[in-house]
Amino acid sequence: MSASARRRIIIVVSVMLLLGLLFGLTVSGQSLQIYLDRLIFGSDKSANGHEIIARVNGEPVYRSQLENFELLLRIQGTTPADQVTREAFGTLVEQVILQQEAERRGIHTSEGEARAFTEQQRQLWQQSPPSDPAVRAVVSQTMQTAGLKSEDEYWDRMVDHYARLLNLAKLRQQIYEEVPFPSDEEVKLYLAENPIQSALVFIPVYLKDWGEASVIFADLVKKQKSLGLDGLATEVDRLARQYRPFGPTESTIERFQFLSPSELPEHARAVLDLSEGELGLVKNRSGSPVIVLVLSKVLVDEATAMEYGRSQLREQRAKEHYQSVVEDLLRKAHIEILAPDLKKTFPQGLPALP
**Residue 57 belongs to some domain of the structure:** yes
Tell me whether strands 279-283 and 289-298 are parallel, antiparallel or unpaired. Answer: antiparallel
**Residue 191 belongs to some domain of the structure:** no
**Residue 203 belongs to some domain of the structure:** yes
pLDDT at 20 over 50: no
The answer to whether residues 166 and 260 belong to one domain is no
Q: If we measure between CA atoms, which residue out of 274, 318, 265, 279 comes closest to residue 297?
A: 274
Q: For residue 266, what is the domain's CATH number?
A: 3.10.50.40
pLDDT of residue 17: 41
Which of 1-15, 128-142, 159-173, 318-332 shows the lowest per-residue confidence on average (mean pLDDT)? Answer: 1-15
Instruction: Compute the average pLDDT of residues 242-270.
Output: 90
The answer to whether residues 16 and 149 belong to one domain is yes
Do residues 287 and 137 make contact, with C-beta atoms less than 8 angstroms apart?
no
Q: How far apart are the first and last CA of the chain?
A: 6
The answer to whether residues 126 and 225 belong to one domain is no
Share of residues in the chain with pLDDT > 70 (%): 79
The answer to whether residues 131 and 229 belong to one domain is no
Q: If we measure between CA atoms, which residue out of 337, 13, 15, 322 comes closest to residue 174?
A: 322
State how far the Cα of 92 lies from the Cα of 120, in Å rounded to an integer.
27
The answer to whether residues 205 and 169 belong to one domain is no
The answer to whether residues 82 and 25 belong to one domain is yes
**Residue 309 belongs to some domain of the structure:** no
The answer to whether residues 106 and 63 belong to one domain is yes
pLDDT of residue 44: 47
**Residue 306 belongs to some domain of the structure:** no
The answer to whether residues 31 and 149 belong to one domain is yes
State how far the Cα of 252 lies from the Cα of 204, in Å rounded to an integer.
7
> Three-state SS string across the chain, please?
CCHHHHHHHHHHHHHHHHHHHHHHCCCCHHHHHHHHHHHCCCCCCCCCCCCEEEEECCEEEEHHHHHHHHHHHHHHCCCCHHHHHHHHHHHHHHHHHHHHHHHHCCCCCCHHHHHHHHHHHHHHHHHCCCCCHHHHHHHHHHHHHCCCCCHHHHHHHHHHHHHHHHHHHHHHHHHHCCCCCCCHHHHHHHHHHCCCCEEEEEEEEECCCHHHHHHHHHHHHHHHHHHHHHHHHHHHHHHHHHHCCCCCCCCCCEEEEECCHHHCCHHHHHHCCCCCCCEEEEECCCCCEEEEEEEEEECCCHHHHHHHHHHHHHHHHHHHHHHHHHHHHHHHCCEEECCHHHHHHCCCCCCCCC
Q: If we measure between CA atoms, which residue out of 124, 154, 143 comes closest to residue 16?
A: 124
**Residue 310 belongs to some domain of the structure:** no
The answer to whether residues 123 and 156 belong to one domain is yes
pLDDT at 9 over 90: no
Q: If we measure between CA atoms, which residue out of 134, 133, 256 comes closest to residue 199?
A: 256
**Residue 304 belongs to some domain of the structure:** no
The answer to whether residues 56 and 169 belong to one domain is yes
pLDDT at 230 over 60: yes
Q: Look at the chain and count its residues.
A: 354
Burial code of 21-50, b = ≥16 C-beta within 10 A, e = fewer?
Answer: ebbeeebeeeebbbbbbbbbbeebeeeebe
Q: Within a 10 A sphere around the Cβ of 53, how many other Cβ atoms?
A: 22
**Residue 78 belongs to some domain of the structure:** yes
Share of residues in the chain with pLDDT > 90 (%): 53
Summarised one tens digit per residue, pLDDT across range 255-264 is: 999 888 889 9
pTM above 0.85, yes or no: no
Residue 16, Cβ density class (10 Å: 0-12 exposed, 13-18 middle, ≥19 buried): middle
pLDDT at 156 over 70: yes
Indicate the pLDDT class of residue 43, thresholds 50, 70 and 90: very low
Indicate the pLDDT class of residue 129, thresholds 50, 70 and 90: low
> Bigger pLDDT: 29 or 195?
195
The answer to whether residues 124 and 79 belong to one domain is yes
Do residues 72 and 35 make contact, with C-beta atoms less than 8 angstroms apart?
yes
Domain count, the chain: 2
Q: For residue 327, what is the domain's CATH number?
A: 1.10.4030.10
The answer to whether residues 294 and 328 belong to one domain is no
Summarised one tens digit per residue, pLDDT across range 191-213 is: 999 988 899 999 999 999 999 99
pLDDT of residue 277: 93
R_g of the chain computed on alpha carbons: 29
* Domain with 82 in it: 3-181+315-345
> Bigger pLDDT: 321 or 21?
321
